[in-house]
């Protein structure tokens, strides 16, 4: 039975929300948890725009992508990412908290995020 877990992110810290979402996406909040399970519950996060993030951390933290080619490294600050899309910021935080194995991409596909409370 696939269960949907709804989390309200309003006025909560980014790391707290991300760890709670990562636990629920893995299935650790259900009583029949098995680490090798491939059927994961859906995790819905509401009010992603209203997550509380420290301004100092926004300026200090950077993300980098590397294409594999010489000169192909791109560095983005957390501030730029937050201005562009808060959903991507939460997704990156949850991605880093999920276990680093083959089930990671299957877990992140069950993450559903909404800007407001109305959906």
CATH number at residue 52: 3.90.1180.10
119 lies in some domain: no
42 lies in some domain: yes
Of the two residues 29 and 95, the one the predictor is more confident about is: 95
Helix (H, G, I), strand (E, B) or coil at 111: strand
pTM score: 0.88
Q: Which of 63, 58, 64 is nearest to 82 (CA)?
A: 58
At residue 109, the pLDDT reads 94
Cα distance between residue 74 and residue 85, in whole Å: 17
Please state, rounded to an integer, the average pLDDT across all residues of the chain: 90
Please check the confidence at residue 104 and state whether its pLDDT lies above 60.
yes
Structural domain boundaries enclosing 21: 4-113
118 lies in some domain: no
Please check the confidence at residue 2 and state whether its pLDDT lies above 70.
no
Cα distance between residue 20 and residue 22, in whole Å: 5
10 lies in some domain: yes
106 lies in some domain: yes
Q: What is the CA radius of gyration of the chain?
A: 15
How many domains is the chain partitioned into structurally?
A: 1
């Amino acid at each position: 039975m696939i269960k949907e877990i709804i989390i309200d992110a309003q006025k909560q810290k980014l790391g707290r929300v991300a760890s709670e979402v990562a636990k629920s996406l893995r299935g650790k909040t259900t009583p029949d948890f098995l680490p090798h399970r491939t059927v994961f519950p859906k995790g819905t996060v509401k009010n992603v725009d209203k997550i509380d993030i420290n301004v100092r951390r926004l300026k200090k933290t950077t993300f980098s992508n590397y294409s594999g080619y010489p000169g192909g490294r791109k560095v983005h600050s957390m501030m730029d990412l937050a201005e562009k899309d808060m959903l991507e910021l939460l997704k990156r935080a949850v991605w880093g908290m999920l276990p680093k194995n083959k089930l990671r991409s299957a877990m992140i596909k069950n993450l559903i995020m909404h800007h407001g409370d109305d959906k």
